[in-house]
Amino acid sequence: MIDARLGDLVAPLRAAPARSALLFDVDGTLAPITQHASETKVPDETRDLLEELAGRYGLVGCVTGRRTLDARAIVGLDGLEYVGNHGIEALSPGEDAPRVRPEVAEWEDRVRALAGALLDDSPEARELGVWIEDKGPIQALHWRGARDEDRADALVAELGTRAEAEGLRLHRGRMVLELRPAVPFDKGAAVRWVLEGRDLDGGLFAGDDRTDIDGFAGLRALRAEGAITHAVCVAAADPGSPAVVAEAADGSVPGTDGVRDLLRELLRS
């Protein structure tokens, strides 16, 4: 069960589902956080609820730091919209390959080469278990599960400083540091990309990490501009999620279990 206040906030979406959009982060929101990113999976019950929502609402999608094809494999549904790499690429139902923003794609080789060189120059980081997730134009340094997570955190921060000196941008998440092209993009831009031009009245965005605050801002900006009339921002708050996410949201639910309750509420007649 979600609390009454959040129930009131989503009531306008439930009342007009065909004119409402539902957008979700994946890791920590739809799927529990795992020690290794490759192990992440959306629970079957959550997937079934998403599929039912997709048949009722005007748009159901995922806005994620993952690559779109990876996100679709984790969620297990082809009929959703996916915007991945924080707004770099998009994948619509029926598409086999994502559409990538050209001004970002041209950075891919440079970012990948620099990330590899930085980690090669830090054998201690590799020995501790720091590893690179290849996300094309974004290269993500992970240290969840490292033998000494605090020491790994400090070493990755040093690598990030060197990456900034080479012209890259940084974005920190939950035990992950992303090395990004020097091109403006975030989940707020991703929300605008997937919703602009659609005939919708309301939208919801749910997420658990700092990057999702940008998603909240993107949804609220569309409301301020009159593109939609109702916006609901929900934090999937668990003990590992930053407190600032809940502070920035309109309401909170307890982690992925709470998000599943939210999905049930959105289906309630």
The whole-angstrom separation of Cα 235 and Cα 255 is 8
For the chain, the straight-line distance linking the first and the last C-alpha, in angstroms and rounded, comes to 15
**pLDDT (tens digit per residue) in 220-229:** 999 999 999 9
| Helix, strand, coil percent values for the chain (each to nearest 5) | 45, 20, 35
The mean pLDDT value for 190-217 works out to 94
Distances, alpha carbon 189 to alpha carbons 68, 133, 197, 235, in Å: 16, 22, 14, 19
Predicted local confidence at residue 37, as pLDDT: 65
Nearest one of 151, 148, 207, 157 to 179, comparing CA atoms = 157
User: Is the overall model pTM greater than 0.75, yes or no?
Assistant: yes
- The encoded tokens of residue 139 equal 């290269």
Same fold, 4-101+185-267 and 105-180: no
pLDDT band at 151 (very low <50, low <70, confident <90, very high): very high
What are the sequence ranges of the domains in the chain? 4-101+185-267, 105-180
Distances, alpha carbon 122 to alpha carbons 91, 131, 156, 171, 210, in Å: 36, 11, 9, 20, 27
Q: In what order do the strands lie in the sheet with 176-180?
A: 131-135, 138-142, 176-180, 169-173
| Domain 4-101+185-267 of CATH type 3.40.50.1000 | yes
The whole-angstrom separation of Cα 200 and Cα 205 is 14
> Quick check: helix, strand or coil at residue 24?
strand
Nearest one of 86, 84, 18, 1 to 54, comparing CA atoms = 18
Nearest one of 219, 217, 235 to 227, comparing CA atoms = 219
> Quick check: helix, strand or coil at residue 59?
strand
Domain 105-180: give its CATH superfamily. Answer: Trehalose-6-phosphate phosphatase related protein; domain 2 (3.30.70.1020)
**pLDDT (tens digit per residue) in 48-96:** 999 999 999 999 999 999 999 999 999 999 999 999 988 889 999 989 9
DSSP states along 204-261: EEEESSHHHHHHHHHHHHHHHTTS-SEEEEEEE--TTS-HHHHHHSSEEE-HHHHHHH
For residue 267, pLDDT over 70 is answered with yes
Predicted local confidence at residue 252, as pLDDT: 97
